[in-house]
Structure 1
Amino acid sequence: MATMTAAQRRAQAKADYDAFLAACPSRQLLDRISDKWVTLVLAALGRGGPCPAGESWEEPRAMRYSELSRRLAGVSQKMLTQTLRSLERDGLVTRTVTPTVPVTVTYELTALGLSLHELMRGVKAWAEEHMAEVLANREEFDALAG
C-alpha cells in the first residue's frame, strides 16, 4: 500500500465527504447541527453569554445541566438530555461528573465544539438581527399570495 502525502489525504477526504452526494455521511452531521437546540446549546456553552452579574463571559465555560435548562427557555428535559448526549457522542461536548453530594455534572465544549461554536453563535446573532425583516417579508408574501 502506497503512502499518501498530507495534500493527497486532504484531497481524498474532500472527495469522501462531499455533502452534495447522496451517500455522504456528512449529511447526517449537517442534519444534527442544523437542529435549533444544538445551535442554542453550542451558543450557550460558548463565550459571550450574560452571567448573573450582567457582565459578559470572555471565555467558554462549563455549565451545569440545570443552568443550561434555565438558559434555554422552552427546552424539555428529554430534548436537552438527547441533545447533550448527541453532542457528547459527536465529540463536541464533554460531560464531567464530580462526586459531590449531590453529584455535580457539567458540560463543556471540546476543541471540536469550539470550532463549531463561532459559526453557530453567528447564525444565532444573524437570526436575532434580521428577524424583523424576515417577519415583514413573510407578511408581504402572505398578503400577495392570499
Structure 2
Amino acid sequence: MNLNKAMDYARHADFNKESIVCLCKWQNNYCVFSLDYLQEESENWFGIEYLGSKLLDAYSVKGESYGGEVIQELTDDIIEHISPDNLNFQIYQTKVDTSLIVPAIYHQLLPDFILDYERVDDISFYRHQVDRTLNLINRPAN
C-alpha cells in the first residue's frame, strides 16, 4: 500500500502487535521504512524510521527518523532517501525491532522467505534470495 493508505491504516493500528513497514532495495541499499503513529489530545503525529545498509557490510547501518502531522511533512524530508512513490508498505503481525541490522529485520518479518543472516554461508545466494523476495512483495497488484 502507498504512504497515504499506510497513514490511514496507522490511525487504527495496534502497534504493540503489528508493524507497518516497507522493505525494499533502493540505490543498492537494502532498506526498512517503519511507519508509526502517535495520537495525543491535541495532535496526531506520524513518524517514519529509515534504516539502510549493504548486505556485504550489514553492520554499517544508516538511519534517520522523520515526523509530521500530514503526508507533506513526511515526504518533504524522506525525499532525500527515496521517492515516496516507491514506498510500498505491508502490514506485519509482529512488532518490528528497529534496533536490529537490516537483514535481521528482514528475517524477523519474513522468516519463511529470508534466511537468518548469521547462518548464511553463501552471500551471493542470500542476496539473490533477498532480491527475489523484495521483488515479490513489492510487485504492483494487478
Calculate the TM-score normalised by the size of structure 1. Answer: 0.28
Instruction: Report the structure, 1 or 2, having the larger strand content.
Output: 2
| Structure of higher CA gyration radius | 1
